Copies of this chain bind each other. A is one copy, B any other.
């Protein structure tokens, strides 16, 4: 079956490429992308030794969380998706019912603040980092069930001071913009 075989090789190359770009894709999404059945995707993954989605997420998480220095992994509010210490990071927070105000069903400001602030702190290359000042603008209310994607960049670093800019979006729409001035503190200083 040389024709079939060629199609399969090509499809499996595409599958690898898709997953390298986005390890979060489900088998269903991959099936739709490649125009084959979910069963075919599973067989292809087997051939390519690509683990199932949950395990892929765990691998990503282990790698990303392993880079955290200034926070414990449970201290980061939201799910850490990308992190390059001293440079940038991305996290996702899914708004649950308990995070919203009873009357308006709007996410409480401090949850969005906590996501942005902890991500800003996570960018610091020090065992301890503390927020000095911050300026936040809440652009539109966020509702239960929405996924908030926070992206943080180190804009400037001067000695132990980090100027970090965070933009949080829901479906590409900005919901929070923040600037954080963070002080990184060396372990020796802290222990004194």
Contact = CB atoms under 8 A, between A and B. Distances in A.
Interface in A38-87: 71-72, 75, 77
A106 interface: yes
A109 B72 CA distance: 15
A171 interface: no
A103 B128 contact: yes
Contacts of A104: 128, 130, 185, 190
A106 B75 CA distance: 12
Contacts of A113: 109-110, 113-114, 117
Given A75-B101, A75-B102, A110-B113, A133 B128 contact: no
A160 interface: no
A97 interface: no
A5 interface: no
Interface stretch (A16-24, A28-36, A136-144): A136-144
A26 interface: no
A132 interface: yes
A133 B109 CA distance: 10
Given A132-B138, A136-B134, A110 B117 contact: yes
Interface string A120-134: 000000011011111
Nearest to A178: B134
Given A75-B108, A101-B75, A133 B141 contact: no
Given A102-B72, A104-B190, A113-B113, A134 B135 contact: yes
Interface of A: 71-72, 75, 77, 101-104, 106, 108-111, 113-114, 117-118, 127-128, 130-138, 141, 185, 190
